[in-house]
Amino acid sequence: MKVFWVVKAKTLVFCLAACFALLLVVFSLNFAAGEVFSRKQKHVLFLGQELDPKDPDLRQQVERMAASLNQPPEPARYDEVNKAVIPEVNGFEIDVDACVAAIKGAKKGGAVIPVWREIEPEMKLSDFALYPVYQGNPVRNQVALVINVSWGNEYLEEMLTILKENAVPASFFLVGRWAEENPQLVKKIADLEMDFGNHGYSDPHMQELSPEEIKEEIEKTNKAIEELTGRQVRWFSPPYGEKVEKIYAAAADLGMHTILWSLDTIDWQLPGEDAIVRRIVDNLHNGAIILMHPTEQTPGALAAIIQGVREKKLEFATVTQLLDPSYWPTKYSMLWAGN
């Protein structure tokens, strides 16, 4: 019996010691967790990092973070190969003063969305009014479809369906006379929130016209499109892609810029869907402007081109979007929202 009580006492002491040790561990963990929680509560989340608003080096920390994200502007520049202009892209940078102030004024444990500001370059597209545009700035991982329309109604409907189903924006450059004869199709294009451009009124060879006659062609088409859609047209593409300075000048006099292309489907030659696709997909580049028309081979090729563009991680844009200098790369999209 004595041995039994000795063993039992020893067991009891051991259990009490174990419980005490366990309590110490739990207390330590809770204390540590409390310390971490308390510390986090004192910090503010900014661009994925916890910053102490009272840290004397706060400004330096924000400046270091900003330096890795800021992007300088890309000025518009002369394209010697095409005798054209490559448009500008605005830069952007974190407003350090505004961000530091926001962090200091934020609630403990809260988050601060970064404050950005755009930086415009000195040289802009408007400084090159007499030069056409063949492509967007290669900084952009975007391409634009330009669809010239003066015929091909029977194929246009199918193209519109493909664009809608794939959520692809495009720019339709209309011949004015065609627009007047097909108001329902023009309105359907507008209802899909597509972009519009001017492709002349009567599909003439403008290099044979006087400057006044060229302006008349452009103005009549602008009027037709604006009356049908309520939209002002900013872009002009000459019929047959004629590259003549008096055409560029006439458009510029009317406050418009001439748009050409860097990739041509030559779909009007009916080379076959595979040939059309290969001409585009094999030569894709940032900022590409892709020319096409509503032909019997274009709808099938269009679907494959859309797939090829997306496989190369490029995005679709309208001409207006492609030439908009306020470009924010997709890779920064999470940063615009904060963290």
* pLDDT digits 0-9 by tens, 20-49: 444 444 444 443 444 434 444 679 999 889
Task: Give residues with Cβ within 8 angstroms of 253, minimum separation 6.
Answer: 211, 215
Residue 41 has what pLDDT?
61
Residue that is last in its domain, among 92, 126, 160: 126
Residue 198 has what pLDDT?
99
Of the two residues 8 and 253, the one the predictor is more confident about is 253
Of the two residues 188 and 18, the one the predictor is more confident about is 188
Task: Identify whether the C-beta of residue 39 lies closer than 8 Å to the C-beta of residue 55.
Answer: no
Q: Are residues 108 and 206 in the same domain?
A: no
In this structure, is residue 33 part of a structural domain? no
Q: Is pLDDT of 151 > 90?
A: yes
| Mean pLDDT within 311-336 | 84
In this structure, is residue 160 part of a structural domain? yes
Q: Are residues 207 and 235 in the same domain?
A: yes
Q: Are residues 184 and 93 in the same domain?
A: no
| Mean pLDDT within 151-180 | 98
In this structure, is residue 141 part of a structural domain? yes
CB atoms within 10 A of CB 306: 18
Q: Is pLDDT of 56 > 50?
A: yes
| Mean pLDDT within 277-282 | 98
Residue 327 has what pLDDT?
82
Q: Are residues 240 and 167 in the same domain?
A: yes
Q: Is pLDDT of 333 > 60?
A: no
In order, the DSSP letters of 239-305 are: GGG---HHHHHHHHHTT-EEB--SEE--GGG---HHHHHHHHHTT--TTBEEEE---TTHHHHHHHH
Q: Are residues 199 and 248 in the same domain?
A: yes
Q: Are residues 159 and 120 in the same domain?
A: no
Residue that is last in its domain, among 126, 148, 181: 126
Q: Is pLDDT of 74 > 90?
A: yes
In this structure, is residue 37 part of a structural domain? no
Count of all residues that appear for the chain in the document: 339
Residue 12 has what pLDDT?
45
Q: Are residues 256 and 303 in the same domain?
A: yes
Which amino acid is it at 3?
A: V
Residue 330 has what pLDDT?
65
Q: Are residues 236 and 273 in the same domain?
A: yes
Residue 335 has what pLDDT?
57
Task: Give residues with Cβ within 8 angstroms of 195, minimum separation 6.
Answer: 169, 170, 171, 172, 318, 319, 320, 321
Q: Are residues 139 and 113 in the same domain?
A: no
Write the CATH number for 270.
3.20.20.370
Task: Give residues with Cβ within 8 angstroms of 299, minimum separation 6.
Answer: 155, 158, 159, 162
Q: What is the percent of the chain where pLDDT is above 70? A: 85
Q: Assign 117 to helix, strand or coil.
A: strand
Q: How many domains does the chain have?
A: 2
Look over the chain and give the mean of its residue pLDDT values, rounded to a whole number. Answer: 89
The least confident of 1-10, 58-67, 103-112, 192-201 is 1-10
In this structure, is residue 38 part of a structural domain? no
pLDDT digits (tens, 9 = 90+) for 61-72: 999 999 989 999
Q: What's the gap between Cα 3 and its chain centre? A: 85
Q: Is pLDDT of 143 > 90?
A: yes
Q: Is pLDDT of 106 > 50?
A: yes
| Mean pLDDT within 43-64 | 93
Q: Is 228 exposed, middle or buried (0-12, 13-18, 19+ CB in 10 A)?
A: buried
pLDDT digits (tens, 9 = 90+) for 206-229: 999 999 999 999 999 999 999 999
| Mean pLDDT within 297-302 | 98
Q: Are residues 76 and 223 in the same domain?
A: no
Residue 48 has what pLDDT?
87
Q: Are residues 169 and 65 in the same domain?
A: no
In this structure, is residue 57 part of a structural domain? yes
CB atoms within 10 A of CB 60: 11
Domain holding 50, by residue range, is 44-126
In order, the DSSP letters of 317-333 are: E-HHHHT-S----GGGH
Residue that is last in its domain, among 71, 92, 126: 126
Q: Is pLDDT of 15 > 60?
A: no
In this structure, is residue 330 part of a structural domain? no
Q: Is pLDDT of 162 > 50?
A: yes
Q: What's the gap between Cα 12 and its chain centre? A: 72
Q: Are residues 116 and 165 in the same domain?
A: no
In this structure, is residue 334 part of a structural domain? no
